[in-house]
Copies of this chain bind each other. A is one copy, B any other.
Amino acid sequence: METRDALLEAGAALLREQPVGAVLTQVKAQPVAQRAGRTIGAFYHHWSSQEAYHRDLLAYVLDPQRLLSTAAAADTVLADLPRGLPLEEVVRRAARRNFEIVRANPYVPLILALWGKQAQDERVRELLRAHYRSVTDRLVPVYRTLFDAYGLTMRPPYTVEMFAATLTALVEGLTVRAAVEPEVVPLDLPHAGDLSAAPGAGAAGAAPWDLFSATVVGILRAMTMPADPA
């Protein structure tokens, strides 16, 4: 191999083995104390070392209470349920709000960077597990309530947990894509394509569909079925 290529491939090999280096360790005691308006003495009163601080900071940034997008989606569904809207409109409103908040969430880049450490770092993996677990735990009862209200049940072999995991994966993946190539993740579709099967539903509102919300409707139709197929 030519020397230049050999040196690039060597760097790439080092990155494949350890794809993400310093994520939290870039955060140093002095700027943290300054930002907080505290002394460096106060910092070391609470933590014996920067490493000890980084351990607590990891748990802090992955705390489920940082999951504003999940709470917003859940609240939107629950607030809309008594309004008698068509199912597609309830889904559109909740999914769109969820997508907007995930895209604006400054912790998403951090979580995805930390994910690159999970293979080498058991503690990161456990905290990410707990993080995603809490997303599912929050959303599953909301989805159940929604399906019950609209006479739907899961279509075997799907479960509500799988539905929740699929939607979370899709919103994260589309958030990644929309940041670098917004033109392939439209926010202003005239309607969700599969509504053609439900005449009149498309007229529920002239509100635009984004690609995430529209896809959620398709996934919901695929994974659920009428609870009482009369």
Residues of chain A at the chain B interface (Cβ within 8 Å):
3-4, 6-27, 31-33, 35-38, 42-43, 45-46, 53, 56-57, 60-61, 106-107, 109-110, 112-113, 115-119, 125, 128-129, 132-133, 136, 155-158, 161-162, 164-166, 168-174, 176-177, 179-181, 184-186, 189-191, 193-194, 196, 211, 214-215, 217-219, 221-223, 225
Contacts and interface: CB of A to CB of B under 8 A. Distances in A.
Contact of A116 (B21, B113, B184): B113
Contacts of A223: 193-194, 218
Contacts of A42: 3, 7
Given A7-B46, A157-B191, A110 B115 contact: no
A106 B119 CA distance: 11
Contacts of A164: 184
A168 B172 contact: no
Q: Taking chain A's interface residues, is the majority helix, strand, or loop, or is none over half, making it mixed? A: helix
6 residue pairs, one from A and one from B, having the closest CB atoms: A218-B222, A169-B173, A21-B26, A109-B116, A173-B173, A10-B36
Contact of A27 (B11, B128, B165): B11
B116 A110 contact: yes
Given A26-B21, A60-B12, A113-B112, A194 B222 contact: yes
Nearest to A162: B211
Contact of A119 (B31, B118, B179, B196): B179
Nearest to A45: B3
6 contacts: A9-B36, A10-B35, A19-B110, A161-B184, A170-B170, A218-B222
A14 B33 contact: no
A15 B3 contact: no
Contact of A177 (B22, B45, B169): B169
